[in-house]
């Protein structure tokens, strides 16, 4: 589901940008303030192009001691993603 949903998420962001609701150069923390400050701006553009520096989720699960095959709730997933220190 993740690989397919990326296209729809990106298309939704493009439509929102065209309608003036957001800018590709907005800091992602404007919309997800729970993310830590990494010392530089992570933009929506970087997120869409997958150049933000965020690790792959399965890698994060492994680093946090979880099995990538385990089911995780959206809240658990977000907690693991937000724990990235850099």
The closest of 2, 44, 7 to 26, measured between CA atoms, is 44
How many whole angstroms from its chain centre is CA 71?
A: 19
pTM: 0.74
The closest of 61, 18, 52, 14 to 32, measured between CA atoms, is 52
pLDDT of residue 21: 97
pLDDT of residue 1: 59
Along the 86 residues of the chain, how does pLDDT read in single tens digits? 567 888 898 899 999 999 999 999 999 999 999 888 888 999 999 989 888 888 777 777 777 777 777 766 778 777 877 877 76
pLDDT of residue 67: 77
Residue 67 falls in which region: left (phi positive, over 0), alpha (psi -120 to 50) or beta: beta
């Amino acid at each position: 589901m993740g690989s397919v949903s990326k296209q729809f998420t990106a298309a939704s962001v493009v439509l929102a940008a065209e309608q003036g609701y957001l800018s590709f150069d907005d800091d992602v923390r404007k919309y997800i303030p729970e993310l830590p400050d990494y010392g530089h701006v992570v933009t929506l553009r970087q997120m869409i192009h997958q150049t933000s520096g965020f690790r792959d989720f399965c890698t994060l699960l492994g680093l946090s001691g979880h099995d990538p095959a385990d089911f995780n709730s959206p809240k658990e997933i977000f907690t693991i993603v937000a724990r990235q220190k850099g």
